């Protein structure tokens, strides 16, 4: 038995990755790929890597679809759901930031569960609406979940993280142009990135007394995909205690893995894995976190959420090998 999938906002980078992953998923079939601007055109005419896919963009949606992925810009998912009625049976997986915060999580009678699988796996499996986490938020939260769970976030947390150009979306902007990005790194939204709210809420939910500052410096990188994050803070735990804490927390995680060796982006690009390395240096714990912003940071985790919702094997469609060369 296959479920019917609909995708709204089908022309962006995340939708392209979602299509690529789901074409190899044995338990789904595409019902519609909605795009007003590209309606009637073959999907491969927009997503060149999907040139063999026999699908066309549609100007109509099927309100009875089993699962609807919303791959829209921030603020547009709310508009779409307000303008379009869906069946009560339809599961919604939203990849924008519209419903991630607790204050925004109840919409039209649906309670959106925050879809961070490593923390909310059981709640996700029993939900009807998912707010998929942000890419930076996923990389940073995985680095902090074990410490927050045992109340060890006692000092300010510092984060330096660099992302590829696909993190800015497919729409053109000055800082996404090749002439700007090539041979260039740049800082943006220092200490004020939109993912900070969801990170703070998660940490407080695990460590109620967490009131320390989260200092986040996001950086645009001169590459296309991936997030390389460094998270550090003071701690009294020694390195062996820290490593054991992380190994224990993620012991049953399908995609979050602890490495004893230095890690790099090529290990995770094109996969749904998030690799972590933990070190203790001069009284500080340094957690290095790497993932693919379009997969574990977006479409891959969304499919993982779908698998949990429909009782499919959690890794179905997501056993992807990194593009190492």
**pLDDT recorded at residue 325:** 79
Write the DSSP string, 97-123. STT-SGGG-EETTEEPEE--HHHHHHH
Residue 2 in this model has a pLDDT that exceeds 80: yes
**Proportion of the chain above pLDDT 70, given as a percent:** 98
- Catalytic status, residue 135: yes
Taking residues 74-90, what's their average pLDDT?
Answer: 94
Identify the pLDDT of residue 74.
86
pLDDT of residue 16: 94
Instruction: Please pick, among 135, 245, 254, 296, the residue that the annotation labels catalytic.
Output: 135
Q: What is the mean pLDDT of residues 83-90?
A: 95
Query: Beta partners for 28?
Result: 3
Looking at residues 61-65, what average pLDDT do you find?
A: 97
Can you tell me the mean pLDDT for 148-167? 94
Tell me the per-residue pLDDT of 18-33, one tens digit each, with 9 for 90 and over. 999 999 999 999 999 9
What integer pLDDT is reported at residue 251 of this predicted model? Answer: 97
Of the pLDDT bands very low, low, confident and very high (cuts 50, 70, 90), residue 194 is confident
pLDDT score at 172: 57
Specify the pLDDT at position 169: 63
pLDDT-derived band of residue 170, with 50, 70 and 90 as boundaries?
low
- Confidence at 174, pLDDT banded by 50, 70, 90: confident
| Cβ-contact 183, 222 below 8 angstroms | yes
Q: Which of 50, 24, 295 is nearest to 33 (CA)?
A: 50
The sign of the dihedral angle between the CA atoms of 120, 123, 125, 131 is negative
- Over the chain, what is the mean pLDDT? 94
The second-level CATH assignment, the architecture, of 135-293 is: 2-Layer Sandwich (3.30)
Parts of the chain belonging to CATH 3.30.360.10: 135-293
Which pair of tokens denotes residue 211? 């009131």
pLDDT of res. 171: 60
pLDDT in tens, 238-262: 999 999 999 999 999 999 999 999 9
Instruction: Tally Cβ neighbours within 10 Å of residue 325.
Output: 4
Rounded average pLDDT over 29-40 = 93
Q: Looking at residue 36, what is its pLDDT?
A: 86
Domain limits, CATH 3.40.50.720, in the chain: 3-133+296-309
Mean pLDDT of 138-146: 98
Identify the CATH homologous superfamily for domain 3-133+296-309. NAD(P)-binding Rossmann-like Domain (3.40.50.720)
Mean pLDDT on 105-131: 96
Number of H helices, E strands in the chain: 8, 16
Q: How confident is the model at residue 59 (pLDDT cuts 50, 70, 90)?
A: very high
Average pLDDT of the segment spanning 268-273: 97
E strand or H helix at 242: helix 239-249
């Amino acid at each position: 038995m296959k479920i019917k999938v609909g995708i709204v906002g089908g022309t962006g980078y995340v939708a392209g990755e979602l299509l690529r992953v789901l074409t190899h998923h044995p338990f789904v079939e595409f019902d519609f790929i909605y795009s007003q601007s590209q309606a009637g055109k073959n999907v491969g005419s927009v997503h060149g890597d999907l040139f063999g896919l026999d699908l066309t963009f549609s100007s109509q949606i099927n309100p009875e679809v089993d699962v609807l992925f919303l791959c829209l810009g921030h603020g547009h998912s709310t508009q779409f759901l307000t303008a379009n009625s869906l069946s009560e049976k339809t599961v919604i997986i939203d990849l924008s930031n519209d419903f991630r915060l607790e204050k925004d999580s109840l919409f039209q009678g649906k309670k959106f569960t925050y879809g961070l699988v490593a923390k909310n796996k059981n709640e996700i499996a029993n939900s009807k609406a998912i707010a998929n986490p942000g890419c930076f938020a996923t990389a940073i939260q995985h680095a902090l979940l074990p410490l927050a769970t045992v109340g060890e976030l006692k000092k300010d947390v510092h984060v330096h993280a660099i992302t590829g150009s696909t993190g800015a979306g497919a729409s053109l902007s000055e800082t996404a142009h090749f002439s700007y990005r090539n041979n260039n790194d740049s800082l943006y939204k220092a200490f004020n990135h939109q993912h900070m709210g969801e990170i703070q809420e998660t940490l407080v939910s695990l460590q109620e007394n967490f009131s320390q500052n989260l200092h986040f410096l996001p950086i645009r990188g001169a590459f296309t995909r991936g997030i390389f994050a460094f998270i550090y803070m003071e701690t009294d735990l020694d390195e062996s205690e820290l490593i054991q804490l992380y190994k224990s927390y993620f012991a049953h995680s399908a995609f979050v893995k602890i490495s004893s060796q230095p890690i790099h982006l090529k290990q995770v690009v094109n996969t749904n894995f998030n690799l972590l390395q933990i070190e203790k240096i001069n009284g500080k714990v340094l957690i290095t976190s790497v993932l693919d912003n379009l997969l574990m940071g977006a479409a891959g985790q969304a499919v993982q959420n779908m698998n949990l919702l429909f009782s499919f094997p959690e890794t179905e469609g997501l056993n992807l090998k990194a593009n190492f060369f």
